[in-house]
Amino acid sequence: MARSKKTRKGGENGPKFAPRVKKADRKTVEGKRAENGRKPGSRHNEALLKQNASGNAGKSTDPRHGSKKPVALTPVATKEPQSTKPKQPKMTDEQKLLKIEEDPRLNSLLDMLEEGRDLSANDQKWLDSQLDEIERLMDRLGLNEEAPKSTSNKKTPKTDSDDDLLARFESGEDLLKDYFSKD
């Protein structure tokens, strides 16, 4: 069977085109839409600016002209209102001591000293100041292991030996047995 070429005519089912109209009979094509906004360059147009200024009694309505507020070219010392932070209560000596003892830098430097490593001058200075602060706080709290030196003639409690403490404990055990037997 012979091949038939497609035609450019659509036939019955093809698209329908508008009939050709002469150029003189055509409607004029709508051009650009109506312009919106200000004309270009109106910001720099002196005549337009003067008209606006005289029409509005010196007040410019064009927001593009910026603020008319004068700007100081030299720094002016202004007092800013101080922020009112709630004052935190002062830390007690116990809290200060705990804070210093829990410092990770202090712990790491002490570990380095125990291992026999040398510390830099800044680290050594900081460590000494922290240890002095700990000692001062312990003196205030009475936690130092040194016995306070007293010049008075009052009796100071003597440290008992282990045997004396054991004897006192055992005598207390007899008293406890007597107490329970009374019931």
Q: Where are the domains of the chain?
A: 93-141
What pLDDT score was predicted for residue 128? 92
Report residues of the chain scoring pLDDT below 70. 1, 28-34, 38, 42-43, 52-64, 80-81, 145-159, 183
What pLDDT score was predicted for residue 29? 63
H helix intervals, 43-120: 46-55, 93-101, 104-115
What pLDDT score was predicted for residue 108? 92
What pLDDT score was predicted for residue 153? 47
CA-to-CA distance for 89 and 94, rounded, in angstroms?
14
Report the b/e string of 167-181 with b at 16+ CB within 10 A: eeeeeeeeeeeeeee
CA-to-CA distance for 8 and 14, rounded, in angstroms?
9
What pLDDT score was predicted for residue 54? 64
Q: Cβ(134)–Cβ(101) under 8 Å?
A: yes
User: 168 is written with which tokens?
Assistant: 């006192």
What pLDDT score was predicted for residue 30? 65
What pLDDT score was predicted for residue 62? 60
Q: Cβ(124)–Cβ(118) under 8 Å?
A: no
What pLDDT score was predicted for residue 132? 92
What pLDDT score was predicted for residue 73? 87
What pLDDT score was predicted for residue 156? 47
E-assigned strand segments in the chain: none
Q: Cβ(113)–Cβ(119) under 8 Å?
A: yes
